[in-house]
Amino acid sequence: MDYKNVLTTCVYCGAGCGLYLQVLDGKVVGVLPCKTHPISEGKLCVKGWNAHGFIYHEDRLTKPLIKADGGFREATWDEALGLVASKLTEVKEKHGPDAIGFLASAKCTNEDNYVFQKFARAVIGTNNVDHCARL
Ligand code: SF4
């Protein structure tokens, strides 16, 4: 079979292991470690090797959802991000920046988490930043 191996970074934690997603007919069908990756050097933990079934799982969220009328309704990214921005602005103006807290995720890359804390400190103006890996 004619697999295409696409080099990427594992999505499960901030260690940043390198792997190849094996793609067949436009779909991810497997994972191979990247032996020359400077961080993981060809090693992956059990999640990196095996836990990619979520990609096509029927429960996966593929569009933003906004709470409405006791449930959720689908929204565009512009609408959802606009709502988040307006709510953050509202809370900041009413109660000050320290009324807002930011919880980052170990499932993001270090670069994502860096930008996240930068947004909290430089844009919102709070040092209320924590990370789920400390729990
Ligand atoms: S979940 Fe495992 S394979 Fe993935 S980055 Fe973390 S340690 Fe590496």
Same domain, 13 and 46: yes
Same domain, 78 and 104: no
Q: Quote the domain boundaries for residue 75.
A: 62-95
Same domain, 132 and 119: yes
The token pair at 70 is 């006791």
**pLDDT per position as a tens digit, 94-121:** 999 999 999 998 777 788 889 999 999 9
Q: Please give the pLDDT value at position 40.
A: 95
CA distance readout (Å), 7 to 12, 21, 31, 52: 15, 7, 10, 15
Same domain, 32 and 10: yes
Residue 121 near residue 113 (C-beta atoms within 8 A): no
Q: Please give the pLDDT value at position 51.
A: 87
Domain count along the chain: 3
* Dist CA 103 CA 129 (whole Å): 6
Ligand 1 atom nearest residue 44's Cα: 3
Same domain, 9 and 52: yes
Same domain, 91 and 130: no
Return the CATH number at 17: 2.20.25.90
Tell me the average pLDDT across 51-72: 93
Return the half-sphere exposure (C-beta side, CA atoms, 13 A cut-off) of residue 5.
8
Same domain, 100 and 88: no
The token pair at 94 is 């009413």
CA of 128 to the centre of ligand 1 (A): 27
pTM: 0.69
Ligand 1 atom nearest residue 48's Cα: 3
CA of 75 to the centre of ligand 1 (A): 32
The token pair at 50 is 């095996």
Ligand 1 atom nearest residue 43's Cα: 3
Same domain, 110 and 78: no
Q: Which of 129, 126, 125, 100 minimizes the C-alpha distance to 113?
A: 129
For the chain, the C-alpha Rg in angstroms (whole number) is 19
Q: Please give the pLDDT value at position 49.
A: 93
pLDDT-derived band at 134, boundaries 50, 70, 90 = low
Same domain, 12 and 43: yes
Ligand 1: lining residues by beta carbon, under 6 Å: 10, 12-13, 15-17, 40, 44-45, 47-48
Same domain, 134 and 106: yes
> How far is Cα of residue 91 from the mean position of the Cα atoms in its chain?
24
**Mean pLDDT of all residues belonging to the chain:** 93
Residue 24 near residue 1 (C-beta atoms within 8 A): yes
Same domain, 29 and 46: yes
Q: Please give the pLDDT value at position 12.
A: 82
**pLDDT per position as a tens digit, 15-60:** 889 999 999 999 999 999 999 999 999 999 999 999 888 889 999 9
% residues pLDDT > 90 (the chain): 77
Tell me the average pLDDT across 123-128: 97
Q: Please give the pLDDT value at position 47.
A: 92
Same domain, 82 and 105: no
- In this structure, the residue with its CA closest to atom 2 of ligand 1 is 45
Q: Please give the pLDDT value at position 13.
A: 79
